[in-house]
Structure 1
Amino acid sequence: MTRRLPSDAVLLVAAGLLAVLPILAVFYRPDGTTGLDVTGHPIGRDFINMWVGPRLAFSGRLATLFDLDAYHAAIGIEFGQALPFHNWGYPPFTLLLLRPLGGLPYVAALALWTAGLFAAFAGVTLSQVPPERRRAALLALALAPACLINAAGGQNGFLTAALLIGGLLALDRRPVLAGILFGLLTWKPHLGLVLPPVLIVLGAWRTIAAAVATTLLLVAASVLVLGLSPWQHFLTETSAYQYALLQQFRGFYPVMMASAFVDARNLGLPMGAAWGLQLAVGLPVLAAAIWAAHRARDPVRRAGVIATAAPLLTPYAFNYDLTGVAAVLVWRLFAAPPRTAPIVVTALAWTAPALLMLVRFAGGGGAWLVVLALFAVLVREVAAEAPARSGAGGLAAAE
């Protein structure tokens, strides 16, 4: 196949909807009487943390966030009824950023969170699509399974994808802005593991300096406002609990995870073997991403390689974290010149966030293999380019 046809996008969107609609109907459908979904969560279930966290922190109940039982009880009080278990797992500086949302009614805050972040994410993505194709690309992006699952669950995939992709696209011309966005990405630092070695190899020192400064400023502001105690709890109890989730490997959350580590645990392998598989996948991906980022002449292709590598490097990759991969696929479908790739790879990568859950319930896995296949296609395309004349994609000259 040498040229993308409009029917490709139509077929992919249709396949994605067929894959994701059963998921939305089973797990995110309102029950019609209580304002909850059929699993007993409020609509936008994972936004609960984003809304309740700052409400507690700035009403004299900061310590509650780090007491699992007290936090669960506090959530029930905020919503007027007992809800399924949640835990707070974000760096303390996020409480400062989320404070305006905590002051709004839940539904209004959820609407602003979802629509506002999707608008930012879509703006970053569509900036690389020709103007005459942006309406169609926007529709496809909105209907991508990763985006629908993220929106239905009130998750933060739009935010992390906008920060990562926005930073990658800004590297050449606005290196300081790129660093600020990468600094903000420390909201979920495991999704930025690919960035430090890539930025060092690219010689992106202004970006690195801006990222470090942004992160230090966020930490300092949180200490000034909230004190040291939240960081002590976060680095001890919260981190230990997050790791314990990987050890215990039970509950609903593994159904949504898309890493090699989780596939190994799903097969019953011990922690050591699961970490071994994660490293066996992650280290070659990291090496290939560094090489491709240094060689790539097209900034968009470079961004695609790095964004696709990001979820492959962490055991904590969820299907809603694949919004960045959806953006890369939209570029391939709608940006000129047309991109070529085996249609089966494109189709599987597009539908993977939904198929992951369906396959996981059947006892299977393999979503990371699909992302890995797309990553391999992107690296192969970079290899087919003529080498950059100076630096990576002109970065050295731009800085």
Structure 2
Amino acid sequence: MFAETLEAVQSSPSKRTAYVRFVLAALAAIAVFKSFWFARSGGWTERELADFDAFHIVAQHVWRGDLDQVYHFDALLKMQMEAAGGATGFMPWTYPPQYDLLLAPFAFLPVGVGYLLFTAATLALYLVTLRAIAGRNFAQVLVILFPAMAITIGCGQNGFLTGALIGLVCLNVERRQLLAGLALGAMVIKPHLAIAAGIYLLVTRRWIALGTAAAVVLVSSLLCTLLFGWQIWFAWLGAIRESASYLEQGFYPLFRMISAYAALYKAGLPASTAFWGQTAVAGLALSAVLLGVVRGAAPAFTLGAAVMVSVMISPYAYDYDLPMLGIGLALMLPDLARMAGPRERSVIYGLILFAGAYGLLQSARLAVQFGPKADPDQHFAPALGGFALMALLAVLLRLLWRGTQPAPALPQAAE
């Protein structure tokens, strides 16, 4: 079976070492290649902007004293066109001011160098955290997560940073609640990905961690207010409202989104119906956390499920957020063989692989068929990643409903 093939990765120390080295070498090669791409070296002097370009633009405007302008989409579009040297795809900015502050030092580096430093640092933090959680299952998780990690490196996004922060919450929640709270509070840079973890801490009464997280959010918000003024919060909220209208009109590359909203909208449903579908999925995702506690599943398994469903709550979720699934899978693997049969494990591994690879493969198809500047809105490109995560949620709910009961045994073939 597919599950047994992937699990064979960890069958011996030599195999585990070989797979880990291969995956890490491949990720390093992608990062080095993309650093030249971001630096516009060689034949990439004319290219559209990617995500880290947007990070670099925002970092520059932190020091120019007009940070609120990046939250006004007309002004931001002009900044991005100027950076691209002409027309480019538009990337709205809806990150909280805390993330702007985190990016500020990268303004002093060329974009290619900044990309390489940001990617290498966040990837290293993610891998160290993942290794501490996964243990001997590290190689298997790396193989399953490889497509998601590759696409995160390719665009220079922050999926490794958010994955590492949630991983640090999980590592410290039992014995070092203060550290867990600091990591959860740092998730203010992308708060919608921390909702499920926060619910888990609330249900399990981790008051020190929750209090620490709240303090981090409060102190960082006050610092941003002192540095950028009260207007930064109004600008940020205005950008969120404007972004919501853009999402409703399908202006984002929805085929790379992994939300139920994107999947349903691209399937032809009205935006209002797709939104209610997203609301239902978010409710089920949060109920998975409660279900794990009520049904008596192992704490690590329940926490792993909470991490996995974190990427299913917001309508605005991309494939570069999927490294978080690696943290959840690493937490669940020790109990997965007992709670899930080979077919269920095969489905879980396959859905994670598919969700990570789909956007990458679809982007490559569009580029080959219609050129590197192909508009996905003008060509058929469904958002199947969202359907994959909905199916994954269904499997998780089934396992959590069984609780402490072992997976049903497969019928034995007659001899």
The interval holding the TM-score normalised by the smaller chain is: 0.7 to 0.9
- How far is the alpha carbon of 1:89 from its aligned partner? 1.7
Whole-Å Cα distance in 1 between the matches of residues 357 and 336 of structure 2? 29
The 1:369–1:235 alpha-carbon spacing in structure 2 relative to 1, beyond 3 Å, is: same
- How far is the alpha carbon of 1:272 from its aligned partner? 2.0
Alignment of 1:122-141 (within 5 A): 122-130=127-135, 134=138, 136=139, 140=143
What is the aligned partner in structure 1 of residue 123 from structure 2? 118
Whole-Å Cα distance in 2 between the matches of residues 2 and 152 of structure 1? 27
Alignment of 1:11-30 (within 5 A): none
Q: Does 1:231 align with 2:233?
A: yes
8 Å Cα contact 2:197-2:307 kept in structure 1: no
Whole-Å Cα distance in 2 between the matches of residues 287 and 127 of structure 1? 28
8 Å Cα contact 2:152-2:158 kept in structure 1: yes
Deviations 1:319-368 (A, max 9, x none): 111111134445667x6985654313312322322225656964434423
Q: Does 1:163 align with 2:165?
A: yes
- How far is the alpha carbon of 1:249 from its aligned partner? 0.3
Q: Which amino acid aligns with 1:41?
A: E
Unaligned runs of 5+ in 2: 11-18, 363-375, 406-415
- How far is the alpha carbon of 1:375 from its aligned partner? 3.8
Task: Choose 373-382 or 284-293, whichever is displaced more.
Answer: 373-382
8 Å Cα contact 2:255-2:383 kept in structure 1: no
User: Which structure has the highest helix share of the two?
Assistant: 2
What is the aligned partner in structure 2 of residue 41 from structure 1? 48
- How far is the alpha carbon of 1:148 from its aligned partner? 0.3
Other structure's SS at 1:129 match: helix
8 Å Cα contact 1:202-1:294 kept in structure 2: no
- How far is the alpha carbon of 1:291 from its aligned partner? 2.1
Whole-Å Cα distance in 2 between the matches of residues 369 and 139 of structure 1? 23
Alignment of 1:1-399 (within 5 A): 4=4, 8-9=8-9, 33-35=42-44, 40-42=47-49, 45-78=50-83, 83-130=88-135, 134=138, 136=139, 140=143, 144-236=146-238, 238-251=239-252, 253-293=253-293, 298-329=298-329, 340=340, 341-356=344-359, 358=361, 362-384=380-402, 386=404
Other structure's SS at 2:89 match: coil
- How far is the alpha carbon of 1:81 from its aligned partner? 5.6
Deviations 1:74-120 (A, max 9, x none): 34445666543233221112222111122222111111111110111
Whole-Å Cα distance in 1 between the matches of residues 68 and 403 of structure 2? 54
Whole-Å Cα distance in 2 between the matches of residues 305 and 73 of structure 1? 42
8 Å Cα contact 1:73-1:82 kept in structure 2: no
Task: Choose 120-129 or 85-94, whichever is displaced more.
Answer: 85-94
Unaligned runs of 5+ in 1: 388-399
Other structure's SS at 1:127 match: helix
TM-score by length of 1: 0.80
Q: Which amino acid aligns with 1:367?
A: G
- How far is the alpha carbon of 1:220 from its aligned partner? 0.3
Deviations 1:226-268 (A, max 9, x none): 11111111112x01221012111035x2121111111221123
Q: Which amino acid aligns with 1:151?
A: I
8 Å Cα contact 1:76-1:83 kept in structure 2: yes
Whole-Å Cα distance in 1 between the matches of residues 115 and 359 of structure 2? 26
What is the aligned partner in structure 2 of residue 391 from structure 1? none
The 1:287–1:55 alpha-carbon spacing in structure 2 relative to 1, beyond 3 Å, is: same
The 1:290–1:91 alpha-carbon spacing in structure 2 relative to 1, beyond 3 Å, is: same
Deviations 1:160-219 (A, max 9, x none): 111122212321111121111111112112212223433221111111111110001110
Whole-Å Cα distance in 2 between the matches of residues 304 and 90 of structure 1? 26
Task: Choose 154-163 or 28-37, whichever is displaced more.
Answer: 28-37
Whole-Å Cα distance in 2 between the matches of residues 68 and 383 of structure 1? 45
Aligned length: 366
Other structure's SS at 2:323 match: helix
The 1:77–1:272 alpha-carbon spacing in structure 2 relative to 1, beyond 3 Å, is: closer
TM-score by length of 2: 0.77
What is the aligned partner in structure 2 of residue 392 from structure 1? none
Whole-Å Cα distance in 1 between the matches of residues 3 and 77 of structure 2? 53
Q: Which amino acid aligns with 1:174?
A: R
Deviations 1:358-392 (A, max 9, x none): 569644344234334434444544555549xxxxx
8 Å Cα contact 2:358-2:384 kept in structure 1: no
The 1:111–1:230 alpha-carbon spacing in structure 2 relative to 1, beyond 3 Å, is: same
The 1:310–1:130 alpha-carbon spacing in structure 2 relative to 1, beyond 3 Å, is: closer
Other structure's SS at 2:90 match: coil
Whole-Å Cα distance in 2 between the matches of residues 338 and 215 of structure 1? 38
Task: Choose 190-199 or 94-103, whichever is displaced more.
Answer: 190-199
Whole-Å Cα distance in 2 between the matches of residues 147 and 5 of structure 1? 21
CA-atom RMSD in angstroms: 3.4
The 1:287–1:328 alpha-carbon spacing in structure 2 relative to 1, beyond 3 Å, is: closer
Whole-Å Cα distance in 2 between the matches of residues 211 and 35 of structure 1? 42
Q: Which amino acid aligns with 1:144?
A: F
The 1:300–1:198 alpha-carbon spacing in structure 2 relative to 1, beyond 3 Å, is: closer
